[in-house]
Structures are given as C-alpha cells and as structure tokens.
Chains A and B, each alone.
Chain A
Amino acid sequence: MGEQVLLKNFRPDRPATIDEYRQSGGYEALTKAVREMKPGDVIELIKDSGLRGRGGAGFPTGVKWSGVPEDAPFPRYVVPNTDEMEPGTFKDRVLVNADPHLVIEGIVLAAFAVSAQKGIFFVRPSYEMDAELIERELQVARDAGFLGDHILGGDFSFDMAVHRSAGRYICGEATAQINAVQGQRPHPVKGGPHMTEEGLWKRPTLVNNVETLSCIPHILRNGADWFKGLAKTETGAGTKLYTVSGRIRRPGCYELPIGTRLSEILEDCGGGMPPGTEFKACLPGGASTGFLPRKFYDLELDFDPMKKVGQRLGTGAVVVFDQNTCLVAVTLNLIEFFARESCGFCTPCREGLPFVRDLLRRIEEGEGKEEFIPMLHQMAANMRHAYCAFAPGAAAPLQGLLDFFTDEIREHIARKQCPFKAGNGKAEQGRG
C-alpha cells in the first residue's frame, strides 16, 4: 500500500483523538491559513493541487470554490456531504471514524476559503453513531479554539451543526440536499444560479464530499505538488479511498494513490477472489457506474483514464462479481433500488425505471423476449436526459450490462429462465 494520508491515524478499535491528530500535524494547516493566508490563496492552492471532488462527479474543487463571488452576501455556508447512500460505498464512514478532526479541519478550511460562517454536517440515518461522534468532536474542537467565534484568536468565525437526514438516496445530490436542509421536499434544482452563488437560503453554499474536504489540510501542509505527486496517473492528484466489497476475500476500505489499477486494488488489498471463484466484472464506483468486464482488469481507477474508455470512477466503491453471479439479477437489484429511491420529480426516472425494472424482472424470471433488448438500449440512452444525475447514474449499470453482457441476457431469454438458477446448483452456490 502507498502512503497513508487520509487514513494515517486509522486504528481498528477507535477514532483518533484530537491529540493524536495534532501529533500527526493536525490543525497546523488551519493555524497557517488563519494566521498567514488570505482566503484567495487557499483557493488558488487547491486549484493548483488538481483536487477533484470525491462525491462522485469529480468536479475540480478549487474551481467550485472560486465560484463564490467575492462580494456575495453573508452568511455563507459549507455543507459537508456525508450522506453516502451510493450502494457499495462506505468510505466516508471509515474516514469519519478514523480521524474526525481531519474531517473537521478540512471543513473549517473550506469555510475559511470562501468566508463561510456556518457548516451543516449532513449525515444519513444509518450513520447515527458517526453523527454523535462528530457532535462530540465538534465540541472538542470548539473548546480547543478551532471552531466557533474567532478561531485561533483571529477574525475568522465559523461554527457547525449536524443535520440528521431521514433517508433517501436523492438527499446526497447536492441541490436536493440543500432542499432537505431547508425542510423542503428534497428534489434537485437545476437551471438556476449555481449554489456557490445561491444555495442554502439563497446564500453562497459549498457542498463537498467529506473525503474531498479531508484532503485540504494535507494540501495546505504539504503543497500542491506533493499532492499531485501522490497520484499514480499523469492527470490525477492525491490518494483515493477505494472501498472493496462483494465477491472478494478481504472487503474493506483502502487508501491508495488515485489511479491505482483495478487489478492491484483487488489483489494487493482485497486479497483476490475467494477460492473457487473468478473475476467476472465489477462496478468501479458504486451503483451509478457501469460494469467493468475482465478486459478492464488493469484499468487505472482515476477520472481521466476511465473517461477515456467511457467509464466513470464514481465514488471508487468497487463491487466485485464472480462467474456465478447473474448480472441480470444484479442489474435488476440496482434498478429496483433506483426505482424505489427516485425522487419522483421527472418522467424518465419516475416512470422509466419501473419500466426497465419490469423488463429485467421478466428476463430474469424467464419471460424475456428478444425485443426487450433494443427497448432496454433505448431506455438506457433516454434516461441520460433526465433532470438530474440520478437516472443517468441508474442507466450506467444497465448500459454496462447491454454493452458487455448481452449474451447473458440472451441466454436468459433463450432458456426461458435464469441460467444461474438453472438447477445446476451454481446460483445457490454463487449466492452463498
């Protein structure tokens, strides 16, 4: 494994304390920023570092921050996104649990960069324990002068509260999240000014993934070039928390240079496939990415290399499937998830997903027809024109199935049943 940056203070039994964090250099960056830097310097540095958002879309963080106009009104907000509802993804939980003060320092630095006053730490309900942890540690940070009025005795004041969500995947989407915080129905909002101009309560707002934010203190301490140098790829920057789950020997969350090859992640960290199984495909970054078949086994998991081959890094949540897993059934499971969680706002998602679900279910249950295949193609394509990125995300695994595993669909249709359940015991075994 390469250099541990975000998980440097990881311990299997408990989160790092503020003292442990400070011993490892924690809050030095904040001290430096507050004492020596201007907000604009921080933004420039982050721009130079090449940091891209870890929440799934990979938007350059510095560019996002510079979208807050200098003369924009106050208060301004930072909303650290810890919704983490992307199936297969659990890196933010590991991160928060490993080193809560790293997360906190990152948030405070982001606030400093855009002169924000208030943070709203958005957590999903299944992470209640983490919400409580963060609440405790926020008080610790406050007592230590890293949070609250006049941070470290300077002019900069910023405080933060935890917002407990009540579920639903769409709340992770940045604009929907703002609606959720405002006590509105969490539908996404498009077509207006960007949130860095008009976000929460119509004030400038940063929504960033907590992994993204946790990179900030390290960049400030070690510089943009160092951060770039962490990556394995030319255009990449930093490390990445990859979570590995599914059919793998050692599921878990691993910090590796961004751009580490899939094969390395699976074999060196994940310990390879369990005995008796072989790699068939994986989702590289959660449910909203397409299946990577064997031919991408050596692909570098970073934004640009993946884009080049028409794939997306997503959240870096690798879910592995073996030769006995039915990918029609996997896709059906994912589409069921998306259909259930659709916010219901736009047609392609609200109606299109149940349509796809029906077709996949029929195929899986042996009622499939050849004409379903072009229909699925059409729907995967059309869902890309939904209102927000939810339905295009849902279309990704479907498209992957159609691109690389049409034979498997055809086999279902031809045999009028799922070949993995075809009484050869394989399916049962596969689903052990």
Chain B
Amino acid sequence: MLPKELEQELRKRIEESDHPREEVINVMYAVQNHYGYMCDEAVHETAALLGMTSLEVDELATFYDFIYREPVGRFVIHACDGLVCWMFGEESVVDYLCRKLNIRIGETTKDGLFTVLPSVCIGYCDHAPAILINGEFYGSLTPSRIDDILDDLRKSHCALVRDR
C-alpha cells in the first residue's frame, strides 16, 4: 500500500493532467521510489491510480531501463558502456566495480547497498569514463576515485541509518 500522502499527491497530479496517461512515467518513478523497485505491487498501484491495467503498466515498466522490475540496491550504478567510455576503459570500470563489490553485472551486493547495471552512453563523453549513481553523474573515473565514491556512499548511508 502506498502511504496516504503519496497517493493523494499522485492522484492530484493525475487529476490535474489533461491526459492522465502522460503521467505514467512520473507515477512509476514515484512508486518505484517508495517501494525501492517496481515490484508487482507497485505495478498494480500504478495501474489503479491511472485506470490502466497492470499489463498496460508492465508493457512500459519492462521497456524502460530506469524502471527496475527486479529488486535493486540502495544505490543503483548505471555504468556507461557507451563507445567513448568503453574506449577509456569501460570494461575495467565495470570490472573494477564488480570486483570491488564482489558481484556480477546486474547483481546487488549482499548488504543491499549497490546494484551495477550496464548503461548506454549517458551523455558525458567529455568526462569519460562516467557512471550514474541514483541518477547522479560521476566522471573521469579512476580506480581510486571509484573507491572514494563507494566509501562516501557507504558512509552517507550509515549516517542516514544512524540518524533514523
């Protein structure tokens, strides 16, 4: 179940739209954000909000690569394997990430923190190699920079958990 507030906010958004279906991606993002990934329940909720069938939502959810139909970690790393990043050692960025996190591509670390997904060119070729983590861009990567980034994220997460 979606929290009341979120549900109301989304309902309002949909009501205000001339074409409710234009909101489907926004709703999927919001619902995914709440559930952590686009689980079946999230698909059903999205469908109910928009008057679509679950199949109709899933036709979209499974099409897009930023909608995750499988569980993902707290930090989703879209590692660019586009041409330029690849030339600049993408293979080693992905390899390095996977080695460092002890997972294979597409998997999530045991602690549930990191998921590594391959991504098409993310539009930062002037800062190759580059990755996105939860939508945020990190460029000109080197192994030590990657280490730092991962450490920072871990720390920020721990801090967050502690604060709660």
Q: Do A319 and B120 have beta carbons less than 8 Å apart?
A: no
- Say yes or no: B84 contacts A183, CB within 8 Å: no
Given the contacts A93-B123, A166-B66, A126 and B26 also touching, CB distance less than 8 Å: no
Complex Cα distance, B118 from A341, in Å, reads 12
Taking the closest CB of chain B, its distance from the CB of A119, in whole angstroms, is 13
**B66 contacts which of A167, A333, A340 (Cβ < 8 Å)?**
A167
Q: Is residue A364 within 8 Å, beta carbon to beta carbon, of the partner chain? A: no
Tell whether, in the assembled complex, residue A182 and residue B19 are in contact, meaning their CB atoms are under 8 Å apart. Answer: yes
Closest B residue to A118 by CB, please name it. B18
> Given that A185-B59, A201-B19, A330-B83 are contacting pairs, would A167 and B123 also be in contact in the complex, using a CB cutoff of 8 Å?
no
Given contacts A243-B125, A251-B126, list 8 more A-B pairs with CB under 8 A: A89-B125, A90-B124, A126-B123, A167-B64, A183-B24, A185-B63, A243-B126, A333-B81
Q: Please determine whether B29 and A166 come into contact, CB atoms closer than 8 angstroms.
A: yes
User: Given A88-B125, A337-B120, are A168 and B82 also a contact pair (CB < 8 Å)?
Assistant: no
Residues on B with beta carbons closer than 8 Å to the beta carbon of A163: 22, 25
Q: Known contacts A126-B123, A168-B64; decide if A432 and B89 are in contact (CB<8 Å).
A: yes
CA distance A317 to B123 in the complex (A): 11
Main secondary structure of the interface of A (DSSP, over half): mixed
- A residues apposed to B, CB below 8 Å: 84-90, 93, 124-129, 163-169, 180-186, 201, 243, 245-247, 251-253, 283, 287, 317, 319, 321, 325, 330, 333-334, 336-337, 340-341, 431-432
Contacting residues, chain B, for A330 (C-beta < 8 A): 83, 87
Chain B interface secondary structure, helix, strand, loop or mixed? Answer: mixed
Q: Which of A126, A246, A253 contacts B122 (CB 8 A)?
A: A126
Q: Are A333 and B86 in contact (CB under 8 A)?
A: yes
| Interface residue B71 (Cβ < 8 Å from any Cβ of A) | no
Q: Interface of B with A (CB < 8 Å)?
A: 19, 21-26, 28-29, 50, 52, 59-60, 63-67, 78, 81-84, 86-89, 91, 119-126, 128, 132, 135-137
| Nearest-neighbor residue (CB-CB) of B25 within chain A | A166
When the two chains form their complex, are residues B123 and A165 in contact, meaning their CB atoms are under 8 A apart? Answer: no
Given A182-B19, A432-B89, does the pair A319, B25 have CB atoms closer than 8 Å? no
- The 8 Å CB contact of B125, one of A164, A251, A325, A341, is A251
CB<8 Å pairs between A and B, sample of 18: A85-B121, A90-B124, A90-B125, A90-B126, A126-B78, A126-B137, A163-B22, A181-B22, A182-B19, A183-B25, A183-B60, A245-B125, A252-B126, A287-B83, A317-B125, A325-B87, A337-B81, A432-B88
